[in-house]
Amino acid sequence: MHKKDKYDFTASQPKEKIRVTFKRIINSSSYHLMAPNSYGAAMQIGDTHDNNFSGNIAKSGIYSIRVSQMKSATRKGTNVSFMLTMSDISPK
């Protein structure tokens, strides 16, 4: 993992429902879900919500998921392994 990994996805329609799941081996990483044009303000922080998000997208546009590692783990040179899944769970 790099100091910050960033994954972008496009929500094509408002009210689209998504699920984000973040699984980690070591508790030294987390993710932030960022709405379009949020300028660094997270709409959800993984650590505070059991590393899961399931909900409706408020507007269309490019959303970002930023994965970061705690500074203490970075200083120790700890490698962090994680699995990030994102799926569209809107009714068809």
CA count, 13 A, side-chain hemisphere, 39 = 0
Which SS3 state, helix, strand or coil, does residue 72 take?
helix
More confident residue, 73 or 36: 36
Beta strands in the chain (DSSP E): 4-11, 17-24, 29-34, 42-45, 52-56, 61-69, 82-88
Total domains in the chain come to 1
* Segment 52-67 mean pLDDT: 85
In the chain, what is the greatest distance between 2 CA atoms, to the nearest angstrom?
Answer: 47
Q: pLDDT tens, 27-47? A: 778 888 888 888 878 888 888
**Which CATH number is 19's domain given?**
2.60.120.380
Query: Cα–Cα distance between 29 and 11 in angstroms, integer?
Result: 25
pLDDT, residue 5, reads 66
What does pTM read for this prediction? 0.75
- End-to-end CA separation in angstroms for the chain: 35
Tell me the residue range of the domain where 54 lies.
4-88
